[in-house]
A and B are shown apart, each in its own frame.
Chain A
Amino acid sequence: LVWIGESDIPNKCDRLLVKGGRIVNDDQSFYADIYMEDGVIKQIGDNLIVPGGIKTVEANGKMVIPGGIDIHTHFQMPYRGTTTVDDFSQGSKAALAGGTTMIVDHVIPEPGNSLIEAFEQWRSWADEKTCCDYSLHVDITHWNDSVKQEVDTLLKEKGVNSFQVYMAYKDFYQMSNSELYEIFTFLGEMGGIVQVHAENGEIIAEEQARMLEMGITGPEGHVLSRPEELEAEAVFRAITIASQTNCPLYVTRVMSKSAADIISQARKKGNVVFGEPITASLGTDGTHYWSKNWAKAASFVTSPPLSPDPTTPDYLNTLLASGDLNVTGSAHCTFSVAQKAIGKDDFTQIPEGVNGVEERMSLIWDKAVTTGKMDENMFVAVTSTNAAKILNLYPRKGRVSVGSDADLVIWDSDAVRTITAKTHNSAAEFNVFEGMELRGAPSVVICQGKLVLEDGNLHAIPGVGRFIPCTPFPDFAYKRIKARKQLAVLRAVPRGMYDGPVSDFSPMSRGGTPSASARTSPTKQPVRNLHHSAFSLAGNPAQRGELQQPFDLPICLPIPYRRSQINNSSTGIVYV
């Protein structure tokens, strides 16, 4: 197997043997030794024949799992002239300390700026500082033909296969429904994944104005102006558009029960949609927005907000365990108190984001595995494997197997630690999980075949992280999309020309609307092929006529099916 990637070959002498571990993949667990060389897993099995004198790590029967993939981070994010306090170095260190060996950051171009320039900017920041492998999502913050060109380039040449659009942040990042339709259509054809920040920005703007008018200026205004119904509404709308355009959908930051419910309902109806709860929504709730301590309350500000319903984390963990939600990120985006204080007199000005990259793996283990909601295989799926599949990096990432990258974690399921800002690896002063006691932690972390965490010591080296390009058409999402595309051919009904009288009418447009936006969107394929479905559509009057016989059926048929289509007898005028 030959993998693409820029600085592909790590130090030649990196050889490592992990002995006596229980390998946990998303499908099975088994005991075996693992030998890795040059950052790649070379052998798995018992009694391996390996070169002499290599470093050996004794797993002592502990679990060896694929390193976590944090599919959503915002390191070193510029914000109104300042930058989030965790840069790519600090952020990826925190990630490694928590057992995450790959992060996927979001590139956020200022509206109007070039996507590719922003992408290159993020690449240069990350290449210089990241301590683990990384990939990039690109956010589409405005839309026109040149953006479309750039998206095409990013997909085909730059190794980006996922793009986020915003349904919130009115007048700034927010996309209209028709723009969403065009973006979804385009990405559905090019093999990309559409990610969506789902909140109804129009209503939020109205609610924010109302809160401020009422004199509510503190962080509680943030959650009051963004009730979870608005999140659920936007998720519903995004799913409708995705289903219409036959495009796979990925909902970032699932924060509330209602939003999660909409996703699980849509999955039951067959939509290709993935939901990403984040560390914060799985671990804490929105009651803290009412804290009397402004700085503490502000540290929880993120969008969509944490739900004030304290049973939400448990609910989301359950859906994650049942497979209704599929991947987890952290949406790690940390601001100092002084930065948050930009909004001290107006909650709408508080910079948004919470920590979570370091806590993600332990928190999910504690909330979902120790409680018996999921087993360790499912744990691997939601923290690593599913993300790798969506990003089209599987099995290079997300699996312990020969040929895969040597990103591994030896997991200690008994370790207990208490989360606190005093000891965490983030530069933020507050930790939204402050004081939580979590069971389960990495005891050894191996990244690119090198030991980076051992005996509680972190040996992370900024700049060694490689950019891992993602290719379009991930099988995980697109096998189904492709099959649907083949079914979705529409055909017109062949009819003779209508040659009867035609009324005069004023051309002033009404009712039927002309095309939505000036920009053309190439063809899209719908999901439902009505021509192939079970009920007959190409009206066959003869057959329907026969249905008229059972008129005098007794009323014993409670369901009045018998008559539903008997309305074909001709009227006076028939134009053929």
Chain B
Amino acid sequence: MDKWPSSNQKWLSAWCIKPVGGALVRQEPEYILLALMGSPLKKIMLCSSEKEIFSVEEQVMVQHSVIINNMIEDGSYNHEESKIPLDCVDSKTLKKVIDYCTHHTHHHNDNQEDLEAWDAQFLNVDSNGLYDLLMAANYLEIRNLLDLIYGTIKNMIKGKKIDEIRRIFNIKDHGFTPEEEEQNRKEYPHFY
């Protein structure tokens, strides 16, 4: 991994004053200051429903979550003071979501097979965990994580017998009366 992540390099070159279009242009003074301080990665704070604070690179979340991207863009997030409250996401799920986004940002140049293997391992959670991730990804509007989860659920349904699907999703009581259930099986045997 690069010693200097790309966001650093932007600010290092800001230190230089170079001609742009014939005129000399100075970069913003605070960027130069931050470069001197040596901690240039912009971070944001996310707060789970359990009031736990997670610090994560702004770039990572902005790339993946439409909701967070919009918040940063329209200026409703103040870097100095605020944290983004996510009341519908618990700490365990939020940590996983941050894991996913961080991995995909830093490893986006990896080959497809490695990424898919990582994704498969990432989704090796129990059903509850899967639903929590689904709801979090839905709330934060993280498209690629959503597609990944929908793909997994699709595979849990596609081609499986009805009884097996009921077992996998723990649908203990199918809610049909015995007559209805029998009627269904008689009329649509190919569904089962």
**A-B complex is real:** no
Q: Which residues of B contact A (CB under 8 A)?
A: none
